[in-house]
Amino acid sequence: MSILELRNIYRDRLNLSNQECDYIYKVVLKDLCFIDPIKIALDPNFIIRKDSENLILDSLKKICNNYPLDYLISKKNFYGYDFFVNEDVLIPRPETEELVKWILDDNNNLTGTKKVIDLCSGSGCIGIVISKENNNMDVTLSDVSDKALEVCNRNKIIFNPGVKLIKLDLNSKLQHHEKYDLIVSNPPYLSRDEANEIGENVKYEPEIALFAPRNKPLHFYEKIFEFASTNLNKNGEIYLEINPNFIKDFRQLLSRFNPNDVNFREDFRGKKRLVKVLF
């Protein structure tokens, strides 16, 4: 089939505007088949090889089933960096970029080294970007999932082999004796009740990355504050992404740990989703 015929099949089958269909088709052409999308305009009768045609049609089927484009092309841009992603990790979200920006802005004039740990690092997007953008941040990435750690290691090798990577289970009695100046985390925070409200494509993301334990939506925040009580240096800081639906409970939980200061921030959708806690 020609490059234009296949484009028209995308337009026919996807329930989206032509502009959105064309965007997706061009990404598939470029990132999966290594065909320059400019050919659609310059050489519309260009015949796509059979193996690429199969790949393009197979991709279309997946997209019709809400399979995320980012998984299809195995990458997601986060803070200007193309992270490798697959179904073993959460696809990095734009609101998480805001958390990263907050940390970078606060540490713009940092002199001396700050030891940072990214708990629940998934693809490694938070910690790796911090380490790339601020040379004074000495970053450790950690996660419980071996498969997520493999993805994280791949990104570490691509972007900054200097960051450390450890397996750390927030649910087990921790035997980790390093101390840090800054903890950052975007832990699993969806409650099971929210499962029906979230988008269709989320069903392809790992459950372990999405959901807090049943009836305990703040479970991981409690574990993070417990970790901080032994592993955060005096005057340390914690930056977290939180569930905007549980702010009151979050405040209650936090009061048990006697913080010195707490600042909430809204994300770009106007939801209170980011918090900085000073101890």
**Residues near ligand SAM, by CB under 6 A:** 89-90, 92, 96, 120-123, 125-126, 143-145, 148, 168-171, 186-188, 208-209
- 237 vs 181: CA distance, rounded Å: 6
Which is closer to ligand SAM, CB of 209 or CB of 254?
209
**Least separation, in Å, of the C-beta of 258 and ligand SAM?**
24
**Least separation, in Å, of the C-beta of 187 and ligand SAM?**
5
How large is the angle between the packed helices 125-133 and 94-106, nearest 10 degrees?
40
Q: How many CB atoms lie within 10 A of CB 138?
A: 17
- 86 vs 88: CA distance, rounded Å: 5
Which is closer to ligand SAM, CB of 43 or CB of 266?
266
Residue type, 222: E
**Least separation, in Å, of the C-beta of 269 and ligand SAM?**
16
Which residue of this chain has its Cβ atom nearest to ligand SAM in the complex?
122
Which is closer to ligand SAM, CB of 56 or CB of 241?
241
Cβ atoms of residues 28 and 57 within 8 Å: no
**Least separation, in Å, of the C-beta of 156 and ligand SAM?**
13
Which is closer to ligand SAM, CB of 210 or CB of 247?
210
**Least separation, in Å, of the C-beta of 140 and ligand SAM?**
13
For the record, the structure tokens of 183 come out as 């903890």
- Identify the three-state secondary structure at position 34: coil
Which is closer to ligand SAM, CB of 52 or CB of 145?
145
Which is closer to ligand SAM, CB of 187 or CB of 244?
187
**Least separation, in Å, of the C-beta of 175 and ligand SAM?**
14
Task: List, in order, residues 6 or more apart from 133 with CB less than 8 Å away.
Answer: 79, 100, 104
- 81 vs 232: CA distance, rounded Å: 29
- 77 vs 250: CA distance, rounded Å: 30
